[in-house]
Amino acid sequence: MNNDIPNLPNIRKETVSEAEWRTRVDLAALYRLVDNYGWISLNYNHIGMRVPDQPDHFLIKVHSLMYHEVCASNLVKLRLDGKQAVWSENVNAAGFTIHSAALSARPDINCTIHIHTIAGAAVSAHPKGLLPLEQNGMRFYNRISYHEYEGIASRMDEAARIARDLGPTNKAMILRNHGLLTCGATPAEAMTVTRHLVEACEIQMTLEAAGAGFRIPSPELCEEGARQMEQHEAKHSGDDWPAYLRLADRADPSYRS
């Protein structure tokens, strides 16, 4: 770990509640998992999680840390309704805007993931957006939001528009000409939604590059596919998180510290 990073927290387990420490471990695991999947952009982008026993607070990494350096102890806790965190505090100002927007507007959401994958950025600029070409894409049929590009999201007034565009029920949003934002009630849900969305974007852009065209199932089949995926996730998401944690532990269990 680089001890020269400014404003790096060092939170001890015994100084916070059990609920907060568990959330810190889960969030640190998410950062390591996103790194493991290769959905990273050096130390940019961010993941946030609400503190269960302090719902008006959320956790996020300090800006300077890369994802594989994030641990439970070095996450920073911020107020959702407080003043915007800024670069001089080693917090990504755009990260504060994006994550506070979703978490403040949606009490059903506790975890938010924002990434810039190449295929995700490509689909964000696609005139038709995400298409329901296969099961991953069908998962988002009539269930994905779009937010128009306003430049780097460092102005707090954009938070209201991000919340408005996300809407009351969707858990995935394409930030136009920018990247992806996914959400979940749990870290498992947020991670699984992210995985499906990333793969759907990759498949769509692979087909576009092949130039052979593609077929889209009927609206009725797309809706059925989306409904089946939702039912599967609701029933089996409890199995996913232990598997994700085993993956994170196999790569490097130091995130738990």
Up-side HSE of residue 144: CA atoms within 13 Å toward CB?
29
pTM for this entry: 0.96
Asked if 116 and 172 count as a contact pair (C-beta separation under 8 A), the reply is no
User: What is the pLDDT averaged over residues 24-38?
Assistant: 98
pLDDT tens digit sequence for 208-243: 999 988 999 999 999 999 999 999 988 887 789 999
pLDDT at 3: 57
Asked if 77 and 56 count as a contact pair (C-beta separation under 8 A), the reply is no
pLDDT at 138: 97
User: What is the pLDDT averaged over residues 173-179?
Assistant: 98
CA distance to 25, 118, 159, 182, per residue, from 131 (Å): 35, 17, 27, 17
Please name the residues in contact with 221: beta carbons below 8 A apart, sequence gap of 6 or more.
138
pLDDT at 124: 98
Rounded to whole angstroms, the Cα distance separating 170 from 183 reads 8
Tell me the domains of the chain and their CATH numbers: 13-256 (3.40.225.10)
pLDDT tens digit sequence for 54-87: 999 999 999 999 999 999 999 999 999 877 777 7
pLDDT tens digit sequence for 85-141: 777 788 999 999 999 999 999 999 999 999 999 999 999 999 999 999 999 999 999
pLDDT cut 70: percent of the chain above it = 97
